[in-house]
Structure 1
Amino acid sequence: MNDPAQRPERRFPRASWLMLGWLTAVWVMLWGDLTAANVIAGFVIALVVTTVLPLPRVPFAGRIRPWGIVRLLAAFLRDLLIASVQIAATTVAGRRPKGAVVRVRLRSHSDLVLTLTSGFVSLVPGSIVVETHRLDGTMYVHVFDVDRHGGVEAAQRTVLEQEQRVLRAVGSADQLADAGMAPAGTGEGERR
């Protein structure tokens, strides 16, 4: 194991200063009191947690596209508003929702795209990712009211549209091609 490429990385701290700062801020917000003791304790805990339980490195082979990120966030905010109104209306009307677990096979094979898509889908009220299969890119999503959503096919289409927005925001040209989408800026639609 004399090859430097095979040796594990040994640096301290293992997490970035931005991550340590974020974790410290979360600690202070959880306590609800900005004191020197809370800041120091939060920083020490963040340092210990990221050193003892480091997150694996996620390779990023994509490309950041500002316009794609704007479209992703705008669509997310729209979905958030619409879903909140629909759930409130269902609750106020006293109607019993018809929940369902929907299986969706994603087009991308990137761990980052799977994670981001899962996060955005779960953050919208009325849908939660209950399971993912990394190797085949399958996601199981619980939908609060499948009838109001337009049926199983509409729920699947919603998840695939979210994946497409994530790919258009941070995917590489190869990832877009693998997912059957034309590279951004070509004016072409989906190939499949």
Structure 2
Amino acid sequence: MSADERGERAVGEAATGAAEAPERRTPVQRVVGRLPTVVWLTLMWVILWGDPSPGTVVAGAGVATACYAAAKLPHLPVRLRFRPLHVLLLVGHIVWDMFASSVRVSVHALWRPERMRGVIVEVPMRTDSDLLLALVTGGLSLITGSLVIELNREEGVLYVHGTPIESERSVRQLRRQVRRTEKLFVWAFGTAADIEEFEREDRLEAEREALGAAAASRGADEGEERR
């Protein structure tokens, strides 16, 4: 074996060893890495109890910490950004949807009970981030009259049950509500890569819709000419 070959082999072994070496993190880094998961579990605890009192928050934090320690969950890197203006827009959107949907459901339940019909709407998602999809799912579940039934991760499709649904127009409104909520979550918490991927998928979908509309228009024109 030549000297050059021995040198290349040594470099390769060093690189392999460095790649296989486990990442060493300080206790502070471990706590910081687990903090987002604990905060998220605590938030879900408070939402499920419907009581944002200090006692509920402390109890939720204790339960979340105990569950995290007992399950020995691996460290997952959380890549989020916080954009205050977009977060305010997101909060305002969800609060308004909660109020408007509560009024709408109440009116139908009291005065139009025969129209309290629901449907399951299939909505393709444009973001590919697991964390953002989880946030979108949680945000939609807070709104009265909408409930996430399933998230098909492989196909990137969200199935949402909506009520009351009176017509095809109501279905389109529910779908627009889901898409708008997704967009606001991505702009509020997504990284630059998440936003870039979201906009790319948005452009591709717009192009597909434009091509479909053009094909339908050509088909209608050809039908008129044949007549």
Q: TM-score, normalising length from structure 2?
A: 0.62
Query: Percent sequence identity over matched residues?
Result: 28
Q: 3-state DSSP class of the match of 1:180?
A: helix
User: Do the aligned partners of 1:109 and 1:136 also contact (CA within 8 Å) in 2?
Assistant: no
Provide Cα deviations, 1:23-50, integer angstroms capped at 9, x if missing partner: 5x96xx99x9x7xxxx8x9887554322
Q: Which runs of 5+ in 1 are unaligned?
A: 182-189
Greater helix share, structure number: 2
Provide Cα deviations, 1:109-143, integer angstroms capped at 9, x if missing partner: 00111011111111100000010012322110000
The yes-or-no answer on 1:121 pairing with 2:140 is: yes
Q: Which runs of 5+ in 2 are unaligned?
A: 1-16, 207-227
Detail structure 1 runs of 4+ shifted over 6 Å in the superposition.
41-44
User: Do the aligned partners of 1:15 and 1:54 also contact (CA within 8 Å) in 2?
Assistant: no
Q: Distance in 2 between matches of 1:43 and 1:169?
A: 25
Tell which deviates more after alignment, 171-180 or 65-74. 171-180
Which of 136, 149, 172 is equivalent to 1:153? 172
Matches within 5 A, 1:159-170: 159-170=178-189
CA RMSD in angstroms, aligned pairs only: 3.8
Q: 3-state DSSP class of the match of 1:168?
A: helix
The yes-or-no answer on 1:70 pairing with 2:88 is: yes
User: Do the aligned partners of 2:36 and 2:78 also contact (CA within 8 Å) in 1?
Assistant: no
Matches within 5 A, 1:70-109: 70-96=88-114, 97-109=116-128
Q: TM-score, normalising length from structure 1?
A: 0.72
The yes-or-no answer on 1:178 pairing with 2:197 is: yes
- Identify the residue that residue 138 of structure 1 maps to in structure 2: 157
Provide Cα deviations, 1:129-166, integer angstroms capped at 9, x if missing partner: 01001232211000011227933222112101100000
Tell which deviates more after alignment, 145-154 or 159-168. 145-154
Q: 3-state DSSP class of the match of 1:64?
A: coil
User: Do the aligned partners of 1:149 and 1:155 also contact (CA within 8 Å) in 2?
Assistant: no
What displacement does 1:57 show?
A: 4.5
Q: Distance in 2 between matches of 1:54 and 1:19?
A: 13
Number of equivalent positions: 173
Q: Distance in 1 between matches of 2:73 and 2:155?
A: 23
What displacement does 1:171 show?
A: 1.3
